[in-house]
Amino acid sequence: MKCPSCDYRETKVVDSRVSGEGNSIRRRRECLKCEHRFTTYEYVEKVPLMIIKKDGRRQAFDRTKIISGLVKACEKRPISIAKIEEVASEVERTLQKKYDREVNSEDIGEIIMEKLSSLDEVAYVRFASVYRQFRDVNHFMKELKVILERDKEPTRRK
């Protein structure tokens, strides 16, 4: 680490501690030449996850878009904002674990639908109707039949 005072390239760490929410390390350093003390911070480098849209465009992942979609799907349902944020966090963690740098928007939609199907069936159908762009009542009925069949399974818990 180069000294900001004299540009000498050798310093020693005097003190280290975790700062913030554990996302960084604060280090007090001292120049071995001029003895100037200064502070540095060490962070994990985060490469933004890029979303590949259906038309091939790419854009940075935006958690607020997931929350917005969930809020619309869960409107007038007994689901708290805290639960919606929890689902958004689960989706984000899944994406970070499963994908390195890029993910198709279709994969995100599938993950969200999986989370919604166990949370609230009405919200799931609302989200699916927009996400899957049901063209007519037959597409909609097919999705409802899948839900009804799943509910008939003896191991299904509510």
Per-residue pLDDT tens for 113-138?
999 988 998 898 889 878 776 666 67
Residues 54, 111, single domain; the answer is: yes
Confidence (pLDDT) at 134: 66
Q: Judge whether 31 lies within some domain.
A: yes
Q: In terms of domains, do 54 and 39 share one?
A: no
Are 36 and 86 in a shared domain? no
What percentage of residues in the chain have a pLDDT greater than 70?
Answer: 92
Q: What is the mean pLDDT of residues 64-84?
A: 95
Claim to verify: residue 38 and residue 80 sit in the same structural domain: no
0.85 exceeded by pTM: no
The pLDDT of residue 157 is above 60: no
Q: Are 82 and 17 contained in the same domain?
A: no
pLDDT computed for residue 154 by the predictor: 63
Q: Is residue 5 part of a domain?
A: no
- Identify the domain containing residue 84 by its residue range: 50-152
Q: How does DSSP assign the chain, residue by residue? A: ---TTT--S-EEEEEEEEETTTTEEEEEEEETTT--EEEEEEE---PPPEEE-TTS-EEE--HHHHHHHHHHHTTTSS--HHHHHHHHHHHHHHHHHH-SSEEEHHHHHHHHHHHHHHH-HHHHHHHHHHHTT--SHHHHHHHHHHHHHHHHSTT---
What is the per-residue pLDDT across 8-45, written as a single tens digit (0 to 9) for each?
999 999 999 997 677 789 999 999 999 999 999 898 77
Judge if 28 and 101 occupy the same domain.
no
Q: Sheet harboring 11-19: ordered strands across? A: 11-19, 24-31, 37-43
| Same domain? 100 vs 120 | yes
Q: What is the pLDDT of residue 91?
A: 94
User: Is residue 107 in a domain?
Assistant: yes
Chain-wide mean pLDDT for the chain? Answer: 87
Bridge partners of 52, per DSSP, are 58, 104
Q: Are residues 69 and 141 in the same domain?
A: yes
Residue 3 forms part of a structural domain: no
pLDDT in tens, 50-64: 999 989 999 999 999
Q: Is the pLDDT of residue 72 over 90?
A: yes
